[in-house]
Amino acid sequence: MTYLKWILFSLLSVSLVVCAAEAADAQNRLIINADLGKEKINRNIYGHFSEHLGRCVYEGYWVGEDSPIPNVRGIRKDVVEALKKIQVPVLRWPGGCFADEYHWMDGIGPREKRPTMVNTHWGKVTENNHFGTHEFLDLCEQLGTEPYICGNVGSGTVQEMQQWIEYMTFDGVSPMADLRRRNGREKPWRVKYFGVGNENWGCGGSMTPDYYANEYKRFQTYLRSFSGNILFKIACGANKADYNWTEVLMREAARRMNGLSLHHYCGTGRKSRSATSFDEGDWFFQLRNALFMDELVSRHKTLMDKYDPEKRVDLIVDEWGTWHAVEPGTNPGFLYQQNSLRDALVAGVSLNILNQHCDRVRMANIAQTVNVLQAVILTDKEKMIVTPTYHVFEMYKGHQDAVLLPTALSAADYVFENEKVPGLNVSASRDASGVVHVTLCNLHPAQAAEVQGELRGMSPRQVSGRVLTADSMTAHNTFDQPDRVKPDDFRDVKIAAGGFLTRLPPKSVVLLEFR
Ligand code: AHR
């Protein structure tokens, strides 16, 4: 053997030995069936929710046409630009609890003439109605997003809801369409998604499921599809594990709905409710509650399957996310919270779970887009930052409308005190151009995870990766340090025989793309 051949042979053997050793050590194995898969991950799983609550709509989006903050027809430019980068597919508005107190006619016409109201749920502040139907639909057009409007059942009338639809979508001559034209909009908008009330078991009227099922049937009867705008009617669904609500609604009204909603807030830490000051117990507790989404969705799906085996009715998780204590010194009714690496893990885990259930879950809306709860954007007057949760939405956007790939993951547990959860969490998809996107979360705050991956039905030529992590689990972005948590290139992955080997850092969200 020549000296050169000997060196090449040694290098090859060393790398083979290293690969074999890593593979043997790997406690975590992931199989991705890259040539299978039939369900599409509906892009609407990456939807958002924005309510008239605190500084979400006002300040978050709406600054008014005369504001020194750069805006287009009163809507701030920086926020729209940032949201366009994560491709917001659908936006739910105006609530939330606010929806069942909102009277849409107060929010049309010349702004200076619009009546005010008290926002009784959220801080009892005066709402000036400057952001109404026209402004919301303008925002959706600027974002290139589908509107999802939630109507008022709790304190509204059938006539009011019926007229709202006519106002927005009727192309011909009618009292409401003519009123819309007088207010400056000639052509109707396309408004496909319409919710019939919000949390009608609670802030939306404290109804029993049977009572609401009857109300739903009555209201939806008068919601007409006009001028080619085929309405997609969404009934108010359960709070978390209220399986009886889903059973009754499906039994009584499934054939009259297109979607049934579900709300799941995964709360905050075990002891500390602070968004940025917490320990491992709080971290573990929060992630365990986020993982509960899997059981919740599975059980609601089982009930839906009983009444709708063809899966015609979508499960729409139209409020989800963390709920921490408000930032010190802010109005408790405004739900303004910071957002740390822990929130990013919650987002990563939740979106993976929702992807995995895309045979029935066809929309989800994180609560809420700007300045409220698990926001992707925070603003302070003219300043704007994006949160770790924003980066997860950006990293996951390749899953939108891609085909879910079946995966099998066998992962070491993350054990804390006497409890445990699976240490890793995954979803994978193949987009229209054939690129396979794999998003992995390592929940352990201190231990890296070696993963041996098998890619069945694909021999990738190339793999690239990105990672979101930080030196501490409480790391977050501030107006002084806006890039403390942001994605980096990820190089700890290599293609190996039949698949790949990777090493996920502790407390990380990783995106791998195979071509
Ligand atoms: O997102 C905040 C509130 O949480 C919503 O208004 C309500 O629907 C839910 O209880």
Give catalytic residues, as residue numbers: 199, 319
Residue nearest to atom 3 of ligand 1 (CA): 96
Residue 56 Cβ < 6 Å to ligand 1: no
Measured CA distances, 119 to 98, 337, 479 (Å):
7, 20, 28
Q: Which atom of ligand 1 is nearest to the CA of 122?
A: 6
Per-residue DSSP letter, 193:
E
Kindly tell me if the per-residue pLDDT of 500 is higher than 90: yes
**117, 337, 407, 480 from 439: Cα distances, Å:** 44, 26, 11, 30
How far, in Å, is the centroid of ligand 1 from the Cα of 203? Answer: 9
Nearest atom (ligand 1) to Cα of 373:
1
Residue 131's pLDDT is what? Answer: 98
Q: Which residue has the tokens 């997860």?
A: 392
* Residue 459 DSSP label: -
User: Three-state secondary structure along 92-128?
Assistant: EECCCHHHHHCCHHHHCCCHHHCCCEEECCCCCEEEC
Residue identifier of the C-alpha nearest atom 8 of ligand 1: 96
DSSP sequence for 414-437: EEETTEEEESEEEEEEE-TTS-EE
Which residue puts its alpha carbon closest to atom 2 of ligand 1? 96
Q: Is 51 in the pocket of ligand 1 (CB under 6 A)?
A: yes
Per residue in 104-135, pLDDT (tens digit) is 999 999 999 999 999 999 999 999 999 999 99
Ranking 2-6, 247-251, 306-310, 388-392 by mean pLDDT, the lowest is 2-6
97 lines ligand 1 (CB under 6 A): yes
Q: Which of 203, 234, 239, 262 to probe ligand 1 with, by most ligand atoms within 8 A of CB?
A: 203
pLDDT at 148 over 60: yes
Q: What is the pLDDT of residues 162-220, one digit of tens each?
A: 999 999 999 999 999 999 999 999 999 999 999 999 999 999 999 999 999 999 999 99
> Mean pLDDT over residues 290-310, rounded?
98
pLDDT score at 27: 85
- Checking if the pLDDT of 18 tops 60, the result is no
Which of 319, 337, 370 is the best mutation target for the ligand 1 pocket, counting ligand atoms within 8 Å of the beta carbon and taking the most? 319
- Kindly state if the Cβ of 198 falls inside 6 Å of ligand 1: yes
C-beta of residue 507 within 8 angstroms of C-beta of residue 425: no
Tokens of 282: 């709080």
* 266/320 Cα distance (integer angstroms): 7
Which protein residue's CA is at the shortest distance from atom 5 of ligand 1? 96
Report the distance separating Cα 346 and Cα 350, nearest Å.
6
Which atom of ligand 1 has the smallest separation from the CA of 95? 6
Predicted confidence (pLDDT) at residue 282 exceeds the cutoff of 70: yes
Distance CA 78, CA 110 (A): 26
CB neighbour list of residue 19: distance below 8 Å, 6 or more residues apart: 494, 496, 497, 501
pLDDT of 14:
35
